[in-house]
A and B are shown apart, each in its own frame.
Chain A
Amino acid sequence: MISNALQTTLTAEEMQYARNLLGREPTHLEWAMIDAEWSEHCSYKSSKPIISQLPSTGSRVVLGPGYDSGVIDIGNDYVLTLHIESHNHPSAIDPYGGAATGIGGVVRDILCMGTTPIGFLDSLRFGDIKSSDHSKWLLKNVIRGIADYGNCIGVPTIAGEIEFDECFERNCLVDVVCIGVGRKDELLLAEATNAGDSIYLIGGTTGRDGIHGATFASRTLAADADRERSAVQIPDPFTKKLIIEATLEANRRGLLRGCKDLGGGGLSTGLSEIADKGHTGIDVFLDLIPVREPDMTSTEVMISESQERMLLVAKKGCESALRTIMDQYGVSYARIGEVTSTETIKIKRADETLAALPTQFLANAPIINRKANPPTSPRSFGSIPPPDTRKTILELLASPTIASKEWVYSQYDHEVGIRTIGKPGAADAAILALPNGKFAAVKVDGNSKVCHLDPYIGAASVLAECCRNVTAVGAEPAAFLDHCQFGDPNDPDIFGAFSLTVKGLADFAKTINVPCVGGKVSFYNEDAITNRAIKSTPVITVLGLIEKTEHITTMSFKQQGESIIAVGSTKAEFSGSEYFNLLHLDGGHPPQLHFDLEVRTQRTILELIRKGAVKACHDCSNGGLAVALSEMAIKGEIGAEIDLRHLSSSSRDDELLFSESNSRFILTTETPRAVLQHLTDNHIPGVELGKVTGHELNLVLPNHTIRLDLEVLQDAYCTSLGRILEPWQK
């Protein structure tokens, strides 16, 4: 039960700022609304000045950051929407409910634009599942939560990634991305622009669950986090499905002016954001809000984060038609307010006005300029022992971050909607068929080990790798989302890392000319027990477009006799790599990233794909060449004869096989000479490695040859995760 005492995360300065701006002491309800809206989670008060550096315009961009979702024009009057959400804190204490409601939340953002959700991606981070039962418990339940929710609403989860690192043991990260498609003329902007329009609250009832959820996300996890019960949200995908159907139909019939997701900060934030965008005001009638529990205070009603609720702005005169649709689908609704021209949010109960705040005030928190320290140089990692190459290759393939995620994605219905052309695991990015005959390629990537060593290069490298993955399937990157996840922003080292991260993203994005159309910043990913913050974790999602069916390229070796070509330079670069992770070596500088070379390499690969010269393509990243070649063989169920002696001047197996240098691809082709010539013409290194053939990976190295049977590779790669998580299953 929320006490009447003021529970707030606002600083004394912020409170004084509020008093000065308002010209009086805010009421209890007004304080609660300000607290929610000005929380870090909702207002981005620490990060706005920094993230405004990200380029956000481009020929395809219809809407950039600042709306519920980014919007991209894909031609033929169609648009794609994309958004990313996270539920880190809730998932740490209730992984099933937290992850499920995370999916529920991100799909609302897509729905609010009037577009149909067509795919999810999940990006997850946990501690070491081999040694920690707690992390195993978190992972299993997060997957189950995402599966139950996504499957029930009929939106396929088509791709994802999971990274494991000790820093996530008590602070798991659960990020979910949603992609939507729709017609340009049916796009809805969350704006209440017309006085006289009605505000409807639809979906679930309002209760005491989720109170202070926004502020919960804006603090570090307390020692008794297990008891943070009111911050938990109950998922209800059945109701969500009905809401999706009803809302899309209402939009198709032209009944809606706008639509708003109710997430962090509940009604308070939702109402102020739509009024702010529309430059209007809203009168809200508290008595008309359907509540689930008796005796809820006005504060509790306004900041509750009960799930499955949305705000619809119905055009004046369309209310009856809207109600008919809601009744048909069995979606509960209540008319709770009206758009006014007063530019004030007024909360009324009977004749009493409990709050009256100017719209501009609520939605525009004072910016906090935080101190940022310059980075410290990473320590050196000592010497690397000579590798047991064969053993290392198999260990890398079986390591949780690299191993096949089939155990995970087979729990996701990834086929519903009959758009999923690129299935999970088959190619570097997921591929969805679009209504205009083109295809969307989407990928989500993160690499906290590298970002920890150098936030600037690390972040740029993550964006580069994500673009590389999308390129490898034959798509041209069109836009990206960023999600920056860090510890406490009051720590100048952490805030410094955040600033450099965004700079790295911005600089590379400008070089490759891919705009940012949305994103999030999540601070406070650390806990009071271990006082440990997560490593810097920018998670990037890239959306690309494939123009023609013939361009679609997957990673599996296709047939005997194809030539295998390594594109790019392989140097002795191990810092932040999975190889170093196996050896428990830390430190050093991450692999270099030459921005221009990276961009030129990607463009050249896309040219080759579009010319029809490429049969299979895979980007070279985690685990280096060894893993990339193994994956291509495993998926294709054919082996290869590979000669690595001319790859670089190195004579060490690990420098050739496990290095994680940037800007590299492996491709197969039937016209190797033409491909090599094209690479040379574009000043990109390329070496023919060998041919696809047989049932084993035959690796000729400077000092010896290693043979790895396909079955041995498959066993390491395909069964690893299942063995760790469910050792009793066959």
Chain B
Amino acid sequence: MNRFPVEIIISNKPQARDPEGETIARDLVHKEGFHAVKDVRTGKLLAISIEAEDEESARKLAIKMCNDLRLYNPVAHSISVRVEHQI
């Protein structure tokens, strides 16, 4: 069995507004002159490590965990799951 570092990012669905991201962009980033930065969206990061046979199994397990435990609300949020190479 191998250990895989997995990053789960929970954020508002792409088609939903992200008021926090908008405020940071408008009232801080653009106000202070970083006009090359076009868009800011925020999210919550869970950095976990999973014991699995391979990357694909680790990924599948992470997604199942997020769904079963309601780590995010599929009505309002989307998740992105990224598996690094094994530790």
| Cβ distance B8 to chain A, nearest Cβ, rounded Å | 19
List of A residues within 8 angstroms of B17 by Cβ: 204-205, 207, 209, 234, 236, 292, 306
Q: Are A232 and B74 in contact (CB under 8 A)?
A: no
Q: Are A226 and B76 in contact (CB under 8 A)?
A: no
Bound-state CA distance A94–B74 (Å) is 9
Q: Are A236 and B19 in contact (CB under 8 A)?
A: yes
Q: Is the CB of B86 closer than 8 A to any CB of chain A?
A: no
Bound-state CA distance A227–B18 (Å) is 20
Chain B 1-38 interface 0/1 with A at a Cβ cutoff of 8 Å (1 = within): 00000000000110111110001000000000000000
Q: Which residue of A lies closest to B17 (CB)?
A: A234
Q: Is the CB of A137 closer than 8 A to any CB of chain B?
A: yes
Q: Are B19 and A209 in contact (CB under 8 A)?
A: no
Chain A 87-113 interface 0/1 with B at a Cβ cutoff of 8 Å (1 = within): 000000110110000000000000000
Q: Are B12 and A234 in contact (CB under 8 A)?
A: yes
List of A residues within 8 angstroms of B15 by Cβ: 207-209, 293
List of B residues within 8 angstroms of A205 by Cβ: 17
List of A residues within 8 angstroms of B73 by Cβ: 94, 96
Q: Point out which of B13, B74, B75 has the most chain A C-beta atoms below 10 A from its C-beta.
A: B75
Bound-state CA distance A708–B35 (Å) is 68
Q: Which residue of B lies closest to A209 (CB)?
A: B16
Q: Is the CB of A239 closer than 8 A to any CB of chain B?
A: yes
Q: Which residue of B lies closest to A94 (CB)?
A: B75
List of B residues within 8 angstroms of A229 by Cβ: 13, 74-76
Q: Is the CB of A17 closer than 8 A to any CB of chain B?
A: no
Chain A 227-239 interface 0/1 with B at a Cβ cutoff of 8 Å (1 = within): 1110010111011
Considering only residues 28-87 of chain B, those with a C-beta below 8 Å from chain A are: 70, 73-76
Bound-state CA distance A209–B17 (Å) is 9
List of B residues within 8 angstroms of A239 by Cβ: 19
List of B residues within 8 angstroms of A227 by Cβ: 74-75
Bound-state CA distance A97–B12 (Å) is 11
| Cβ distance A58 to chain B, nearest Cβ, rounded Å | 41
Chain A 162-206 interface 0/1 with B at a Cβ cutoff of 8 Å (1 = within): 000000000000000000000000000000000000000000110
Bound-state CA distance A236–B16 (Å) is 12
| Cβ distance B31 to chain A, nearest Cβ, rounded Å | 11
Q: Which residue of A lies closest to B27 (CB)?
A: A330
A-B contact count (CB 8 A): 45
| Cβ distance A696 to chain B, nearest Cβ, rounded Å | 45
Bound-state CA distance A228–B76 (Å) is 10
List of B residues within 8 angstroms of A236 by Cβ: 17, 19
List of A residues within 8 angstroms of B70 by Cβ: 137
List of B residues within 8 angstroms of A97 by Cβ: 75-76
Q: Are A232 and B19 in contact (CB under 8 A)?
A: no
Q: Are A234 and B75 in contact (CB under 8 A)?
A: no
List of A residues within 8 angstroms of B19 by Cβ: 234-236, 238-239
| Cβ distance B44 to chain A, nearest Cβ, rounded Å | 13
| Cβ distance A144 to chain B, nearest Cβ, rounded Å | 12
List of B residues within 8 angstroms of A292 by Cβ: 17
- Interface size, A (range): 20 to 34
List of A residues within 8 angstroms of B23 by Cβ: 238
List of B residues within 8 angstroms of A234 by Cβ: 12, 16-19, 76
Bound-state CA distance A204–B19 (Å) is 10
| Cβ distance A95 to chain B, nearest Cβ, rounded Å | 9
Q: Which residue of B lies closest to A230 (CB)?
A: B15
Bound-state CA distance A235–B76 (Å) is 11
Bound-state CA distance A135–B23 (Å) is 33
| Cβ distance B66 to chain A, nearest Cβ, rounded Å | 14
Considering only residues 53-104 of chain A, those with a C-beta below 8 Å from chain B are: 93-94, 96-97
| Cβ distance B79 to chain A, nearest Cβ, rounded Å | 14
Bound-state CA distance A209–B15 (Å) is 8
Bound-state CA distance A204–B17 (Å) is 10
Bound-state CA distance A215–B53 (Å) is 48
Bound-state CA distance A723–B45 (Å) is 29
Q: Which residue of B lies closest to A1 (CB)?
A: B15
Q: Are A226 and B75 in contact (CB under 8 A)?
A: yes
| Cβ distance A304 to chain B, nearest Cβ, rounded Å | 12
Bound-state CA distance A156–B73 (Å) is 28
List of A residues within 8 angstroms of B12 by Cβ: 234
Considering only residues 400-449 of chain A, those with a C-beta below 8 Å from chain B are: none
List of B residues within 8 angstroms of A208 by Cβ: 15
Bound-state CA distance A510–B18 (Å) is 49
Q: Which residue of B lies closest to A225 (CB)?
A: B75
Chain A 17-39 interface 0/1 with B at a Cβ cutoff of 8 Å (1 = within): 00000000000000000000000
List of B residues within 8 angstroms of A235 by Cβ: 19
Q: Are A93 and B16 in contact (CB under 8 A)?
A: no
| Cβ distance B87 to chain A, nearest Cβ, rounded Å | 30
Q: Which residue of B lies closest to A236 (CB)?
A: B19
Bound-state CA distance A209–B23 (Å) is 19
With A137-B70, A238-B23 known to touch, is A228 a contact of B16 (CB < 8 Å)?
no
Bound-state CA distance A495–B75 (Å) is 32
List of B residues within 8 angstroms of A96 by Cβ: 73, 76
Bound-state CA distance A306–B19 (Å) is 13
Bound-state CA distance A136–B6 (Å) is 29
Q: Which residue of B lies closest to A204 (CB)?
A: B17
List of B residues within 8 angstroms of A207 by Cβ: 15-17
Bound-state CA distance A179–B13 (Å) is 34
Q: Which residue of B lies closest to A134 (CB)?
A: B70
Bound-state CA distance A10–B13 (Å) is 31
Bound-state CA distance A238–B26 (Å) is 13
Q: Point out which of A205, A227, A234, A293 has the most chain B C-beta atoms below 10 A from its C-beta.
A: A234
Interface pairs (30), CB distance under 8 Å: A93-B75, A94-B76, A96-B73, A96-B76, A97-B76, A137-B70, A205-B17, A207-B16, A207-B17, A209-B15, A209-B16, A226-B74, A226-B75, A227-B75, A228-B75, A229-B13, A229-B74, A229-B76, A232-B16, A232-B76, A234-B16, A234-B18, A234-B19, A234-B76, A235-B19, A238-B19, A239-B19, A292-B17, A293-B15, A306-B17
Which 9 residue pairs are nearest across A and B when measured between Cβ atoms?
A236-B19, A94-B75, A234-B17, A234-B16, A93-B75, A94-B76, A232-B75, A232-B76, A229-B75
**Further contacts, 4 of them, CB under 8 A, given A226-B74, A229-B74, A232-B75:** A207-B15, A209-B16, A234-B17, A306-B17
